[in-house]
Amino acid sequence: MSPSLTTFKDDALIALDSLTDRAGNLLNPTVRLGVTGLSRAGKTVFISSLVHNLLHGGRLPLFEAVRSGRVSSIRLEPQPDDAIPRFQYEDHIQALVRDRIWPDSTRAISELRLTIEYQSASGWNRYFSAGRLSIDIVDYPGEWLLDLPLLTQDYRAFSENTAALASRGVRRELAQEWLSLAGSIDASAPAEEATARRLAEAFTRYLRACKSDERSLSTLPPGRFLMPGDLDGSPALTFAPLPKLGEARFPKGSLGAMMERRFEAYKNIVVRPFFREHFARLDRQIVLIDALQALNRGPEAIQDLERALQDVLACFRPGTNSILSSLLGKRIDKVLVAATKADHLHHESHDRLEAITRRIVDRAIHRIGMTGAGIDVMAMASVRATREATVRQGSETLPVITGTPMEGEEIGGEIFDGRRDTAIFPGDLPAETEQIFRQTEAGLAQQRLPHLNIVRFRPPKLDETASGATLSIPHIRLDRALQFLLGDRLA
């Protein structure tokens, strides 16, 4: 990450935390795994399924340490950070398994510790390894990650960048209220709290409209405007960008000076503590994205997803951790970008979804000048809510997926009650990945890509063994994700 993101004080505190973490690792080897996701990508479901499959002997053939029988025990333990809320795994699993509903998204940071006892694959390593690895899973909203680039911007740059983005495509209409109000206000006029509040409220409505299911846009900083928590109504969240500010300094006591001060307060109160206390301590990271939703919304949503990933990946410093890097601040040495909800497609399109996601990531990496080392991409489903089948339609055989649509879902004019199974043809992704990006680059914002029939299904009903034990949650490629993120630490 660029040094401009941090102050000298930040760097000193990060170095101290890194050395403290490394000292603790000598007694109890630990990996801090960051889990985040862009809007509605399913990070709560990912963590719940990952832990459930590890604790309940799930089918993980690509997770080598489990497949080879070298893992002797896996257990949950108290997390080491007493000031961070615990990820409520038990509640989320009850929702998934017993109630067959999707758990509520977490809107703040949380943590869970999982400890694995194992035998090293190397006889030599067995003399030096404790045969124990703790995984501290750190769950945080993707909106917080997208705030980190704000640390490199002053208020004028933030206003200019936000207004430029809001003037393009579908955002122009969504931003009309905020831009109209902001354009009618003189930044050099005396500061008034009522004016600041009206601006902040209009700007927040714009961000919420961008995030809605109808738009599915991804680049939405400042993230706390969408999930304010205990900062709701505070001055640090009562500001908004003002377009066309020019270069002149704001007069003392003016609205512009107030906005500038509050923007800096937002960075100091919200963004820097998150970076210093949580993000800078991570070892590995998975970023979950809902690429299918973006594909269904068309080229503009794909462009916005790519822009968001560009901002996200610019925050990481993939590379190998060492004593020296600990003194300078940790490096996240592996980053996985995973397109979720692969179970909404027939398996014939899984590789295509992965190829499309890889193309989006590669474009983002190229634009920010990264090498791509330590970054991988996959299509997966943390929880497989569907099964596959085929149906005959005249002389044609169609691949379909079957499952239980959520209550209220409508398919072909039929509204489902949440109890009855059905089969749908989900549609096909194009075999030629470049077809999508040619449309995107041509600016065809109104042209739809091949339509995907995306239906919200209930979590699957899990079978039980003869003794009444519930089997593990089905998934797609969760084992491959585990192998990439943790396999080398269990070698």
Residues 104-121 have pLDDT tens digits of 887 899 999 999 999 987
Q: Given a cut of 60, is residue 4 above it in pLDDT?
A: no
Selection from 7-11, 141-145, 378-382 with the highest mean pLDDT: 378-382
Instruction: Note whether 254 and 289 are same-domain residues.
Output: no
CA-based end-to-end distance of the chain: 29
CA distance 4 to 7: 7
Instruction: Note whether 236 and 317 are same-domain residues.
Output: no
Band of pLDDT at residue 456, cut at 50, 70 and 90: very high
Instruction: Note whether 345 and 482 are same-domain residues.
Output: yes
pLDDT given for residue 442 in this prediction? 60
Residues 165-182 have pLDDT tens digits of 999 989 999 999 999 999
Torsion, CA 338, CA 342, CA 343, CA 347, rounded to 10: -130
Residue 173 is assigned to a structural domain of this protein: yes
Q: What is the tally of structural domains in the chain? A: 2
Residues 60-75 have pLDDT tens digits of 999 999 999 999 999 9
Average pLDDT over residues 217-246: 92
Residue 365 is assigned to a structural domain of this protein: yes
Instruction: Note whether 480 and 338 are same-domain residues.
Output: yes
Q: Given a cut of 50, is residue 33 above it in pLDDT?
A: yes
CATH code at position 320: 3.40.50.300
Instruction: Note whether 72 and 204 are same-domain residues.
Output: no
Residue 453 is assigned to a structural domain of this protein: no
Residue 454 is assigned to a structural domain of this protein: no
pLDDT given for residue 182 in this prediction? 95
The residue among 215 and 376 whose pLDDT is bigger is 376
Last residue of a domain, one of 268, 299, 329: 268
Q: Given a cut of 70, is residue 220 above it in pLDDT?
A: yes
Instruction: Note whether 344 and 480 are same-domain residues.
Output: yes
Residue 420 is assigned to a structural domain of this protein: no
Q: Given a cut of 70, is residue 441 above it in pLDDT?
A: no
Band of pLDDT at residue 1, cut at 50, 70 and 90: very low
* pLDDT more than 70, % of the chain: 86
CA distance 20 to 281: 10
Instruction: Note whether 91 and 162 are same-domain residues.
Output: no
Band of pLDDT at residue 141, cut at 50, 70 and 90: very high
Asked which of 9-23, 190-204, 447-461 is least confident by mean pLDDT, the reply is 9-23
Q: Given a cut of 80, is residue 321 above it in pLDDT?
A: no
Q: Given a cut of 60, is residue 323 above it in pLDDT?
A: no
pLDDT given for residue 470 in this prediction? 67
pLDDT given for residue 375 in this prediction? 93
Contact (CB, 8 A) for 436 and 295:
yes
pLDDT given for residue 247 in this prediction? 83
Instruction: Note whether 300 and 325 are same-domain residues.
Output: yes
Instruction: Note whether 264 and 282 are same-domain residues.
Output: no
Asked which of 265-274, 432-441, 475-484 is least confident by mean pLDDT, the reply is 432-441
CA distance 31 to 22: 10
Last residue of a domain, one of 225, 250, 268: 268
Residue 300 is assigned to a structural domain of this protein: yes
User: Which is nearest to 284 in space by CA: 219, 375, 392, 372?
Assistant: 375
User: 128: domain range?
Assistant: 3-140+278-384+476-490
Band of pLDDT at residue 469, cut at 50, 70 and 90: low
Asked which of 156-160, 295-299, 322-326, 478-482 is least confident by mean pLDDT, the reply is 322-326
Residue 433 is assigned to a structural domain of this protein: no
- In Å, the largest CA–CA distance within the chain is 77
CA distance 247 to 275: 29
Instruction: Note whether 353 and 482 are same-domain residues.
Output: yes
Residues 384-415 have pLDDT tens digits of 999 999 888 788 888 899 999 999 998 878 89
Instruction: Note whether 127 and 62 are same-domain residues.
Output: yes
How much is the mean pLDDT over the chain? 87
Instruction: Note whether 88 and 49 are same-domain residues.
Output: yes
pTM, entire model? 0.89
Last residue of a domain, one of 220, 242, 268: 268
Query: The tokens of 23 are what?
Result: 């000292």
Residue 290 is assigned to a structural domain of this protein: yes
Contact (CB, 8 A) for 102 and 96:
yes
CA angle at 336 for the pair 42 and 90, rounded to the nearest 5°: 40
Average pLDDT over residues 259-282: 95
